[in-house]
Amino acid sequence: MAVHAHPDDESSKGAATTARYAATNADVLVVSCTGGERGDVLNPNLKGDPHIERDLSQVRREEMKRAQEILGVQHTWLGFVDSGLPEGDPLPPLPDGCFALEPLDVTTEALVREIRRFRPHVMTTYDENGGYPHPDHIMTHKVSMAAFLAAGDPTAYPHAGEPWQPLKLYYNAHNREKYVAFGEAMEAQGLDNPYADWLKNWDKDKARTITTRVECSDYFDQRDQALLAHATQIDPDGAWFQVPRDLQVRVWPTEDFEAAVSYVPVVPVEDDLFAGLGDVADADALATKGDLELVYDNRKEATV
């Protein structure tokens, strides 16, 4: 289960990994916590399109459906309303009724219901800072952590289905070294480095711990096609697509993750999100056992 804040996040974070697992007969569910209703049209080629301006919410749903089909995953909407990205100094208040202002018990119960329905062994989400400080990303982290810990507890949300305990939870890693390597490789080929200015502002002291590298280069094309399906959000001529595919495969053929909490041992560096779970029967038995104790806990306090 990959838990994301908005439609398009599932295609820009861990998409090749989800496509790989879906292609190898794993059940993969993408959860979109919000509908992206307050997003802007970021593709300059589509600005001013009357159909999009008339109903951006529906357009984003249609885009998500196409991306889902490309990745080969299942998908569900958690049903909350996009908070928007506040801008200005001071920042304006968030809009009433938005996801980031919902009571945590309400949002957690909604995700617990999906966990107990879908019964995942592994979850992925964002780190404590949301990957970047969008209020919906930070809320997605909070909801994912709370639901992961509550889903197996029969006393928590007893009307939300039979208890089921996911066994591992990962953060989608934001890996500075990856973009450094891409930039250096492009410069070595005489190409412009699209990350040079961005990397100057990346705080090296906030490096994340990479515990898991999933080789998924065979699925980079699906990842890119899924991202392009979110046409209102992605400029096809933008920075996302400036690194040549052959260079990506040669320099960094993995997507990287940071194990946050786990009921089974985590031994870095793993090459599989399901490492340590045994076969499906073993994992199912653990997930329904009850009274499990975390054996790996890498949670940190937010710094935003």
Binding site listing: 6, 9, 137
| Interatomic CA distance for residues 3 and 268, integer angstroms | 23
Please enumerate in sequence order all residues whose Cβ is within 8 A of that of 202, keeping only pairs 6 or more positions apart, or say none.
176
Residues annotated within the binding site for Zn(2+) are 6, 9, 137
Please enumerate in sequence order all residues whose Cβ is within 8 A of that of 292, keeping only pairs 6 or more positions apart, or say none.
152, 165, 263, 286
Select from 104, 262, 77 the least CA-distant residue to 168: 262
Respond yes or no on whether the N-terminal peptide bond of residue 269 is cis (omega within 30° of 0): yes
| Interatomic CA distance for residues 274 and 282, integer angstroms | 12
Which tokens belong to 257? 């993750």
Which tokens belong to 64? 């998500």
| Interatomic CA distance for residues 102 and 138, integer angstroms | 13
| Interatomic CA distance for residues 8 and 303, integer angstroms | 25
